[in-house]
Amino acid sequence: MAGPRAREYYRDSLGQRVLFTNRVLMVLLAAEWIGLMVVATTVSPRVWAGTQSSLHPHLWAAILAGPCFILPAIGVALLCPRRALTRHVLAMAQLLISILLSDASGGRIETHFHIFGSLAILAGYNDWRVLLTASLITSADHFLRGIWWPRSVYGVLTVSPWRWVEHVWWVFFEDVFLVLAARNSIRDLRIAANSKARLYEGASHDQLTGLANRRLLQQTFDSWQQGSAELRCAALLFLDLDLFRQTNERLGYAIGDKLLSAVAGRLSGAVGHGATLARFGGDEFVVFLENVSRDEVAIALGQRLLRTLDSPFHVDGQEWLVSASVGVSFYPEHGATLAALQEAADRAMYVAQSRGKNQCVVCSPEVIRTEQNMREIARSLSAAVSSRKFQLAFQPLVYTDGQPAAFEALLRWNHPTHGNVSPSTFVPLLESSGLIVPLGDWVLNEACRCCEHWQRMTGSAAGVTVNVSARQFDQRDYPERVFEALAVSGLRPSSLILELTEGALMQDLDRARSHLLRIREAGVRVALDDFGTGYSSLSYLTELPVDIIKLDHVFVNRELPRKTPILAALIGLAHTLRLQVVAEGVETETQREELTRLGCDYLQGYLFSRPLPPEEVESMLPVGFMPESSLSAPFLLQ
């Protein structure tokens, strides 16, 4: 059988045949009882001679057959219709009344024809054990009466006491064909059950992952909701893979489908019992968690789902990183229907994506307001990008003595309704919509133009750093876009530093390595941003051609003394690999002194300056202030 559902369908079909055969035999036994009494009163006295004709024993046998075995057999069939014992009871009753009919008719109703007909009906059970029971009863009857009372079975014309052997042979001969017919019938039932199971799987399960689909999840929800009138709670988790559509377009749908199947397998293992995991299409998954006693249970499940995606996926010999955003809604707080719960969880998931992805957010009135604002902001993005409503601000990276070495270009947007919108809000929207690519090109060109202007006006060698998104870096012609920005602005390649996160580089390691090699060969330098927060930063550090690492601000906070050993190890490792180190998030003199003592090359943070508009950057650079080797050790230029 194809699976448990096919076995279930097979048992149901077989059970329906058993019930049908039971009904046929019950009706037949009742009719035969009446027929037996008619034969005993009309045919039997004329057939039998001698003393038996005056006693009429067949009439008594016909009358007593009902209460002795016909009515009890019908009663057993009504009380226990599906039990195997019922089939054997009905078989014995049918064979006994067949024997009585043949006896009462004096052989007019020949035994083997009537017995064969009974066996044919019993074959409807598709159970060879029932046929064996009937055949043994028939053989015993033929043997006993064929020797001692042959005329009672074979009629007045029978003269040989060995005629019973022939009849027994015919019974078993027919059994062979009935068993073969039952076998074919069982085979047909199995084929039909497998076909029905496949149709069900196709209609209620996702063909790619084997998970439940919308239809089955709706059925599960309806069954749960109608199962009891008691007040219960449930949770629905809506999970969407971050930037998977772009990954799917880049890798091709064949690899994307394999990756989705691997993701589904991990999620299934993390969900466990008491929950239904469904795929709603694309990269969207839904978990329905029944009878949740506390909200913390659903939130913990959401966090577990995110953690299970942390380790890389191995597809076609390559490693892929996948993250997700999860929204959670609760029944009946956020809705009494599956559609309402899904909409609420979708809103929470949308907010999780806007907060930087790889998060689990519970639906609430505040989340709904945030989601509405986010969607309004998202609708304004396209017009803002096309009309260049964005501005650049620049935050300095300084030497340990506080002198500026370069400036990081930071994107800013003043929304006409919502005011200054945080980059953590609109950047994820830009990435998901694809608008980050044209806007990223504008940022690159504008940053290069501003830097060249500062250098030309002040004689300084201050460089500029530009953040590059994963989707932007994944463009096949990205190196050409960088070279074009440098050519148009006139900026020296050594003055440009591109900042990339580990996630942007890991999505396609081969392409990332190719892009980086071409960019660095042209003289542009590369910084690995948010270093130390990814699981594989150290393992890939020697494989990726980068020049600078930027330590994430989590290492530079009020607990700096506790993290000093880690910082010392990271800075020492970077210097051993001939890389320079920038520490982000420096806000106090204590942090500055400690990082200087540890040998950090450059610092960045509010202690030195907040992001500045372009005109203020030029004013803080004295003419001829910066040395030519800004942010560049000699070994980086070799």
Domain 393-633 in CATH 3.50.50.60 = no
* CA distance linking residue 135 with residue 546, whole number of Å: 87
Strands 390-399 and 548-551, bridge-based pairing: unpaired
pLDDT at position 53 is 46
* CA distance linking residue 40 with residue 56, whole number of Å: 8
Count CB atoms within 10 A of the CB of residue 312. Answer: 14
pLDDT at position 464 is 94
Three-state DSSP class for residue 339: helix
Q: Residue 155: which residues within 8 A CB-CB, separation 6 or more?
A: 106, 107, 108, 110
* CA distance linking residue 375 with residue 580, whole number of Å: 41
* CA distance linking residue 298 with residue 345, whole number of Å: 12
Strand-pair partners of 499: 467, 527
* CA distance linking residue 38 with residue 59, whole number of Å: 9
Domain 214-363 and domain 393-633, same fold? Reply is no
Closest CA to 541 of 567, 565, 576, 514: 576
Concatenate the DSSP letters of all residues of 456-493 into one string.
Answer: HHH----EEEEE--HHHHTSTTHHHHHHHHHHHHT--G
Cβ 351 vs Cβ 371: under 8 Å: yes
Strand-pair partners of 498: 466, 526
Strand-pair partners of 319: 314
Count CB atoms within 10 A of the CB of residue 30. Answer: 14
Phi-psi region at 465: left, alpha or beta (left = phi > 0; alpha = psi -120 to 50)? beta
Q: Which helix (H) or strand (E) holds 63?
A: helix 57-65
Q: Is the peptide bond before 81 cis (omega within 30 degrees of 0)?
A: no
pLDDT at position 56 is 64
Domains of the chain, by residue range, sit at 4-201, 214-363, 393-633
Contacts 24+ apart (CB under 8 A), 255-261: 255/315, 255/316, 257/208, 258/315, 258/316, 259/313, 259/315, 259/320, 259/322, 260/208, 260/209, 261/208, 261/209
pLDDT at position 449 is 93
pLDDT at position 155 is 44
Two structure tokens written together for 600: 């950090």
* CA distance linking residue 380 with residue 600, whole number of Å: 42
Cβ 392 vs Cβ 410: under 8 Å: yes
* CA distance linking residue 34 with residue 62, whole number of Å: 8
* CA distance linking residue 221 with residue 337, whole number of Å: 8
Four-residue CA torsion sign, 172, 174, 180, 183? negative
pLDDT at position 540 is 64
Two structure tokens written together for 403: 């002198």
Strand-pair partners of 397: 406
Strand-pair partners of 399: 602
Q: Which amino acid is at 543?
A: E
pLDDT at position 290 is 86
- CA-based Rg of the chain, rounded to a whole angstrom? 42
Closest CA to 29 of 140, 148, 118: 118
Q: Which CATH class, in words, describes the domain spanning 214-363?
A: alpha beta
Phi-psi region at 155: left, alpha or beta (left = phi > 0; alpha = psi -120 to 50)? left
pLDDT at position 250 is 65
> φ, ψ for residue 376 (rounded to 5)?
-65, -40
- Mean pLDDT of successive 10-residue stretches along the chain, which has 638 residues: 61 77 88 84 66 60 85 89 86 82 67 63 75 75 65 49 61 62 63 57 71 86 76 86 72 79 89 84 88 82 90 80 89 89 90 82 86 80 82 92 90 84 80 84 93 88 90 88 94 93 73 89 90 60 82 72 80 90 90 90 91 86 53 38
